[in-house]
Amino acid sequence: MEFPTLHAVQEELAALLNEARTEDGGHDVAKIRSITGTNAEKLAKIKALSARVAELKAMGEASGRLSGDGAQAFKTGVTGSHKSATTNTAHGAHQWAEDTAQALTKAAERNGVKALTSGSVDAPTMVRTGLFTMPTNPARLLDLIVNVQSVPGNEYEYLQQTVRTDNAAATPDSTTKPTSIYTVASEQDRVRVYAHLSEPVPLRLFADHKDLRPFLESEMSRGVLDALEADIVSGATGGENVVGILETSGVGTTAYSSSIPVTLRKALTAMQNAHEAPTAWALNPADAEVLDLLLTADGEYVGGSADGGFAYSNIFGNIPRVVTTSVPAGSALLADWSQCRLYVRQGTTIDVDASGALFDTNRAKFRAEGRFGFAVNRPAAFRVIDLTE
Mean pLDDT within 120-130 = 52
Distance CA 227, CA 248 (A): 18
The shares of helix, strand and coil residues in the chain, as percent rounded to the nearest 5, are 40, 25, 40
**Contact call for residues 387 and 287 (beta carbons, < 8 A):** yes
Tell me the pLDDT tens digit for each residue of 162-201: 899 899 999 999 999 999 999 999 999 999 999 999 999 9
Which pLDDT belongs to residue 2?
Answer: 42
pLDDT reading at 303 higher than 80: no
Instruction: For Cα atoms 351, 363, 227, give the angle at the middle one, nearest 5 degrees.
Output: 40
More confidently predicted of 256 and 389:
256
The dihedral built from the CA positions of residue 69, 71, 72 and 73, taken in this order, carries a sign that is positive
Q: Mark out the alpha helices in 30-120 (DSSP H runs).
A: 39-62, 69-75, 91-110
Which pLDDT belongs to residue 76?
Answer: 33
Which pLDDT belongs to residue 317?
Answer: 84
Phi, psi of 53 (to 5 degrees): -60, -45
Rounded-to-10 torsion of CA 364, 370, 371, 375? -150
Q: How many CB atoms lie within 10 A of CB 152?
A: 18
Tell me the pLDDT tens digit for each residue of 34-53: 776 766 677 777 777 777 76
pLDDT reading at 73 higher than 80: no
Taking Cα atoms as reference points, which of 92, 104, 84 lies closest to residue 28?
104
Which pLDDT belongs to residue 233?
Answer: 97
Tell me the pLDDT tens digit for each residue of 270-287: 999 999 999 999 999 999
Mean pLDDT within 325-353 = 95
- Decide: helix, strand or coil at residue 60: helix
Which pLDDT belongs to residue 130?
Answer: 64
- Least confident residue range of 229-243, 299-313, 342-356: 299-313
Instruction: For Cα atoms 138, 387, 296, give the angle at the middle one, nearest 5 degrees.
Output: 90
Distance CA 251, CA 336 (A): 12
Enumerate the β-bridge partners of residue 253: 384
123: which DSSP letter?
P
Average pLDDT value over all residues in the chain: 79
More confidently predicted of 316 and 385:
385
Contacts of 161 (CB under 8 A, 6+ apart): 182, 183, 184, 377, 378, 379, 380
pLDDT reading at 107 higher than 70: no
Pairing of strands 252-254, 382-386: parallel
Distance CA 145, CA 373 (A): 13
Report, in angstroms and rounded to the nearest whole number, the Rg of the chain calculated over CA atoms.
26
Find the farthest-apart pair of alpha carbons in the chain and give their distance in angstroms, rounded. Answer: 91
- Least confident residue range of 20-29, 156-165, 195-204, 250-259: 20-29
> Where does residue 378 rank: exposed (0-12), middle (13-18), buried (19+ CB within 10 A)?
buried
At 127, the pLDDT band (50, 70, 90 cuts) reads low
Taking Cα atoms as reference points, which of 380, 340, 336 lies closest to residue 158?
340
Which pLDDT belongs to residue 316?
Answer: 87
Which pLDDT belongs to residue 299?
Answer: 80
More confidently predicted of 328 and 72:
328
